Structure 1
Amino acid sequence: MSSSPSSQFTGYAAAWTIVFVWSFWLIVSRVANDSGLTIYDLAAMRYGLASLVALPLCLYYKPWRGLRLFQIAVLSFILGPVYILCVFTGFHFAPAAHGGIFMNGVLPLISITFALLLFQAKPSLRQVMGAALILLSAIVLAWDGSVTSEPDAWVGDLLFVIGAMFFAIYVILSERWQLSAMQIIFCGTVVNAVLYLPIWALWLPSGLADAPMGPLLLQAVYQGFVPNLIGLLLIAHASRSIGTANTSSILAAVPGGGGLLGALILGESLSWISISAIALLTLGLLISVRRRQPPPV
């Protein structure tokens, strides 16, 4: 079933909005290292603060009624602490630009691979060529980052790739299961808050009490409400409206945005090799995810 023109318009608008939002999220997450907060605090904000808004809505709409227990478990795990702690840890090792490159830039490549492995969906020649360029650019960026910026940047890059794997599965399931906004909020926020917050409060290290007020408020607003509420809703709507491939392609514009903001705001350097690799990555994305319109029936 094809989407209506209005649905496609809002789907593209949602995807491009999250590009801008996500580029700033990369910067905010990177500067969290200097706030005194631990990665466990950031995860607690992500689930705990968002659940303050989500819980009343979920109690009213009861989104669990349309989900099987298996779906709740899978979706909650994919959007849960393992995923986000990998990402936050990655920012301790690698620049903000690498977060965009290795989380968003490789999404089409990972989506193609998962579609082949899980659903036997064979990629086209165009997708294979684009995926090869994406892989090549990612290798160049990882090498350049380890040589010119931080020697342990490859550790962060690997953690970002793991995060991208989690997120690619989420995007695929959003389309295949046709998940509603409230179902995503319930699994991604409320369920994880119930499971994670007691563990964080009782056993995990925290710098919450000693964090300066300014950085604390910045992280609370951006980590607490942007990814788990605004971000997930926009991604889900885009995936349902314009498809996984188109959504992944637009989200993959984040590497350029993250690199530019990292250079402008954080003073992170981009060598000519990194700039060239980002250009190559963009070319690979344009090749791999561009879809032809289906013929009329």
Structure 2
Amino acid sequence: MSVSTVSSTERTSAAAGYAGAIVTVLIWATWVLATRHSGSTSLTTIDVGLLRYGVPAIFLAPIWLRMGLFPKGVPLRLIIMMVAGAGALFFQVTAHALHSTPAAAGGILLGGSMPLATAMIGIAVFNERPDRMRVLGLAAILAGLAILLAKAVLSGGMTLTGFVLLPLGGLLWAGYTHAFRRSGLTPLQGGALIASWSTLIHLALAALFGTTLAAAPLPEMAVQFTSQGVLSGLVATFAYGTAIRALGGTQAAAFTAITPVLVTLGGGLLLGEPLGMTEMVAAVVTGAGVALSTGILSKRA
């Protein structure tokens, strides 16, 4: 294969990775808003979790039935990290927090902590060495979180639940990001594995604590079915997996820093939540960090 062919293939792969990351961010912003909205409906986090993972588990059944719940050649620790980091544990932690956290603050805390935690794990565990531009981008993300924290301390409008559980969700997702990249699975295989295990876990939770899915109004079901099951469960899982394979875990996760800006705007426009200047500044500062932490400017240099 010639050098020009290899270069063209690499450019195509990178373009697919960037496209996957952008699609993921758009869907995640919708997911945060939909999960926040579900707190005002009759649906519980178990109900929403069944939709979030049950829908892709059904569509991807041919894959996980052929592959099995313990894919050959994938270490158990990676399976656990993937299922916990993007599956049932991640969902229950973040959904519970988002129900008691304004959309703007939730988007900043979760969207900002994801790339930050992913980068820290990459540096501490996998010996990654980010250049100055990426370090500056991570610093901007941290500054955005600090602005939000200062506002919450002064106003008392934020709960401790959000400040503890949403960064924990970001840490879980960071573990999934690195585990998936090292698993050797394709995006669809990874999505099928997470969906199948998480559906089983949510079915067990439903057996223990009950479910209200059968009595839920059809409009509520339609919103969550589309945003959770189809968009987040199927489309975003494949898109993010593509981004990880093409760009690497740290760079793919850095795109999630755009999410706070979109969620802040969506919270005001769609959920009627107040758009304070502090939240807007925190969202912009956090989101701006992605332009540096993705490494795009580093490559140009």
TM-score normalised by length of structure 1: 0.88
1:7-86 aligned within 5 A: 7-60=13-66, 64-86=71-93
The residue identity in structure 1 corresponding to 2:202 is Y
Q: 1:266 to 1:125 in 2, by over 3 A?
A: same
Counterpart selection for 1:202 from 175, 200, 207: 207
Cα offset, 1:294, TM superposition? 10
How many Å apart are 1:60 and its aligned residue? 4.3
Change over 3 Å in CA distance of 1:121–1:246 after alignment to 2: closer
Query: What is the CA-CA distance between 1:191 and the residue it aligns to?
Result: 2.1
Unaligned runs of 5+ in 1: none
Give the share of equivalent positions with the same residue, in percent: 25
In 2, Cα distance between equivalents of 1:5 and 1:227: 27
Partner of 2:242: 237
Residues 217-274 of structure 1 deviation map (CA, whole Å, 9 limit, x = unaligned): 2112322232222111110101111222332232211111111111111111122122
Q: Would you say the 8 A contact 1:78–1:166 is kept in 2? A: yes
Match of 1:185 in 2: 191
* Cα deviation digits, residues 147-194 of structure 1 (max 9, x gap): 55x734442232111111111122222333343123212321112223
Give 1:214's aligned residue.
219
2:175 aligned partner: 169
- Is this contact kept in 1: 2:26–2:259, CA < 8 A? yes
> Shift of residue 145 of structure 1?
4.5
Question: 22-31 or 270-279: which moved more?
Answer: 270-279
The alpha carbon displacement at 1:93 in A equals: 1.3
Do structure 1's residue 144 and structure 2's residue 151 form an aligned pair?
yes
Equivalent-residue separation in structure 2 for 1:266 and 1:247 (angstroms): 28
In 1, the alpha carbon distance for the partners of 2:191 and 2:36 equals: 25
Q: Find the partner of 2:284 among 269, 272, 279.
A: 279
- Quick one: distance in 1 between partners of 2:149 and 2:80? 34
Quick one: which amino acid aligns to residue 233 of structure 2? Answer: N
Q: What is the letter of the counterpart of residue 243 of structure 1?
A: G
Distance 2:197 2:75 in 1: 14
- Asked if 1 retains the 8 angstrom alpha-carbon contact of 2:33 and 2:103, the reply is yes
Cα gap change, 1:177 to 1:152, in 2 (>3 Å): same
Q: Does the 8 Å contact 1:115/1:121 carry over to 2?
A: yes
Structure 1 runs of 4+ with >4 Å offset: 60-63, 145-148
Whole-angstrom distance in 2 between the partners of 1:68 and 1:110: 22
Quick check: 2:34–2:224 contact (8 Å CA) kept in 1? yes
The residue aligned with 2:140 is: 133
Match of 2:255 in 1: 250
CA contact under 8 A between 1:188 and 1:228: conserved in structure 2?
no
Equivalenced residues, count: 293
**Cα distance in 1 between the residues matched to 2:45 and 2:76:** 29
What is the root-mean-square deviation of aligned Cα atoms in Å? 2.6
Q: Which residue type is aligned with residue 267 of structure 2?
A: G
Cα deviation for residue 216 of structure 1 reads 1.8
How much has 1:66 moved relative to structure 2? 4.5
Q: Which runs of 5+ in 2 are unaligned?
A: 1-5
Return closer, same or farther for 1:290/1:104 CA change in 2, 3 Å cut-off: same
Give the partner amino acid of 1:204.
Answer: F
